[in-house]
Amino acid sequence: MAAGCGSNQRSARTTYDWILSQSPEDLAKTVAIIQVTEPSRYELHIPREDNDPDSWIKCKIGVVTADRHRRDLTDFHWDYNSTRLSLYSDIEGVYSVLSYCQSLTNLFKHFNIRHYFWNGGFFNHKEQIVPPTISNYFEQSVNWFNSNAWQYQRISPSDQHPSFEGHKEIAKLMFENMNNPGSRTG
């Protein structure tokens, strides 16, 4: 279900869709790991008659991730993205992420699904704008991997996304943390 350039909104939508379509037997074997991403990313739904999953367009600052040859994407969609993101604020993003994480936590608990969240460092600089009461609640109510000290290869000094090898290193760290409950924060 993971996809590059995805949003927290997309993670929540596809997780709900997948979990609600599974049998109880399959859910009993499920472990969910949700990567929380930069909060200004979102999805834009462009309805299609065939309910094609490609009717959801991935958006982030300066990008509408869809092929330009799509005839149903107009200048309006590109302008809408620019306008929406020009109005975005960090505190809005913090509350949005909190809502998505709490919603998914409730879903996982309802179906008794083992679950973990990872922020990949995207929120490390948000402490200045998050009220301490919200930060404490967020830290305690979400089953976070304690990943602040994780070391893994990055694409480059200017692009802090994990490299291909970095993704393997993160998977190993997650596996180790899942089997060592004392290493998580939540």
Task: Dump pLDDT digits (tens) for 69-111.
Answer: 455 667 787 788 888 888 888 888 888 999 999 999 999 999 9
155 Cβ contact list (under 8 Å, min separation 6) = 161, 162, 163, 166
How, if at all, do strands 31-35 and 114-118 pair?
parallel
| Domain boundary assignment for the chain | 1-39+90-186, 41-87
Task: Dump pLDDT digits (tens) for 158-186.
Answer: 988 889 999 999 999 999 988 876 655 44
